Amino acid sequence: MYKDVRNYGWIAGDECADFCRTVYSRPQQNLSGYPLGIITPPTWFPQMPGNVGNPWTYDFPVRYLRSEVEIQQLFDNDPGAVHALLEEARELEREGCRAITGNCGYYAHFQRELAEAVDVPVAMSSLLQVNWIRPTLKEGEKIGVICAAASSFTPELLLHAGVEDPEIVVVAGLEDTEQFGPLARQQMDVNYYNPRKLGEEIAAIACGMMQENNLGAILLECSDLPPFAHMVQAATNLPVFDFTTLHNWLYGAVCRRPFTGFL
């Protein structure tokens, strides 16, 4: 039952009290207890609770690793980013993270390479959820994707996320909005925004997409958008998926616990 303890340094349930057991760490592992390792590109603006970059978002520990790869390289699918990302994923694995994920939906470009490079589950992009959402929809319904930069949102990006039919999604970007636009355009002198106004901008875009399309769900691509998911849902009354739904799913799979309760 606990054959994998040598690989994962993990003892579950009542076995935690059994100090007679021998536990192991990975080679070069100097930390323990991190379910998720998150590769995060350099950013400079406030990251509210709900944002992937704020650990208060999670009910479990997360381990961050600031990437050498800039956001624009992710938007551009820069092949020069691969080497650094592979080393960063391996570093998180060495530190004992049980799964590895990302902090930008455009990491989907490198999903396959990273999944092949390590021996723990990898889910780099919120866009991986498109294929999970689709079977929940009615015939003809689509998924409205709100992203940071629509100009960089390509069928190739979806294909790298495992989505072979780009027609299933309708995309709207935030690069022209008042609050998020400067951040999406990476204006380095802008390190602030108004959360209420930003939430209203995102909700308005979602409503516009809903009026023009037959939507069955909303997916927020960008890791900065989960703090406003509740506002989008209140405005559209649709299921809303984002990085936090991806991360909670991933955590639930790699950190199973015994059930307790009464019969």
Q: How many domains does the chain have?
A: 2
How many helices (DSSP H) and strands (DSSP E) are in the chain? 10, 8
CATH for 161:
3.40.50.1860
Q: What is the mean pLDDT of residues 26-30?
A: 69
- pTM score of the predicted model: 0.87
What the block records as the tokens of 208 is 């516009």
* Statement to judge: residues 82 and 154 lie in one domain: no
In a domain, 102, yes or no: yes
In a domain, 259, yes or no: no
Q: For the segment 199-232, what is each residue's pLDDT rounded down to a tens digit?
A: 999 999 999 999 999 999 999 999 999 999 999 9
Q: For residues 84 and 69, is the Cβ–Cβ distance under 8 A?
A: yes
What the block records as the tokens of 256 is 């199973």
In a domain, 262, yes or no: no
Domain that holds residue 188: 127-242
Statement: residue 33 has pLDDT above 50? yes
Q: What is the mean pLDDT of residues 159-175?
A: 94
* Statement to judge: residues 167 and 90 lie in one domain: no
Q: For the segment 77-129, what is each residue's pLDDT rounded down to a tens digit?
A: 999 999 999 999 999 999 999 999 999 999 999 999 999 999 999 999 999 99
Kindly provide the residue ranges of all beta strands, DSSP E only, lying in 74-209, ordered along the sequence. Answer: 99-102, 122-123, 142-147, 169-173
In a domain, 82, yes or no: yes
Provide the 10 A C-beta neighbour count for residue 27.
6
Choose the weakest-confidence range: 29-33, 77-81, 149-153: 29-33
* Statement to judge: residues 67 and 142 lie in one domain: no
